[in-house]
Amino acid sequence: MENLPNNNKFYQSFLNHLAGLGVSSQSIKHYKSDLSHFTGWILFKLRSLGVYGEELKEAIPFLNTKIASEYKEFMVKNQNPTKTINRRLSTLRHLSRFLVSTQLIDSDFMQGVSNLSILPASHKAKLHPLISEFEKHLTSEKVSQNTIKNYLSDIRQFFQWVEKNDVASRI
């Protein structure tokens, strides 16, 4: 992913905006990382569509809810941790509000793009009690820890998809 140059006026304006909101320096560090990730993704996406740009500001005219949803789906498909996805979406919400407030865009491109649900461990255990039983079974079968981790990740991803698509209510 490309790093945005620190002398980029737009980039600095956004970071100053965050600092003005009282965002901690640690959070700003995360925002920088998240913004860098999104910038790399959107510039790559735009290049695949025949649009060449080198910095986030050049991608602003293309920001819309569809692009934001595609980015979210990209992160889900690449199995980014839910907390990371939600933090990156939060960064984009701040960016969107900043762009509206500076009149660089007319409407909130993050409107309707929601976070992934994070269920408490106790709730997950109630919803999916067989996951821990399956993990115990795999361990007893002397399956490697890496394979167990991958199987459990696939199962959790499936349950996340079921929740997201409200599949359980259709059964």
Tokens of 33: 């990382």
- Same-domain check for residues 130 and 93: no
**How many domains would you assign to the chain?**
2
- Same-domain check for residues 130 and 87: no
State the burial class of residue 170 (Cβ atoms within 10 Å of its Cβ: 0-12, 13-18, 19+). Answer: exposed
Tokens of 11: 């980039």
The whole-number pLDDT of residue 86 equals 92
* Whole-structure pTM value: 0.65
* 151 within a domain of the structure (yes/no): yes
- Same-domain check for residues 80 and 129: no
Which of the four pLDDT bands, split at 50, 70 and 90, describes residue 5?
very low
Tokens of 122: 């106790």
For residues 116 and 162, the answer to whether their CB atoms sit within 8 Å is: no
- Same-domain check for residues 31 and 73: yes
From 70, 101, 132, the end of a domain falls on 101
The whole-number pLDDT of residue 40 equals 93
- Same-domain check for residues 97 and 125: no
Q: Which of the pair, 146 or 35, is modelled with greater confidence?
A: 35
pLDDT exceeds cutoff 80 at 171: no
- In which domain, by residue range, is 151 found? 121-170
- Same-domain check for residues 70 and 126: no
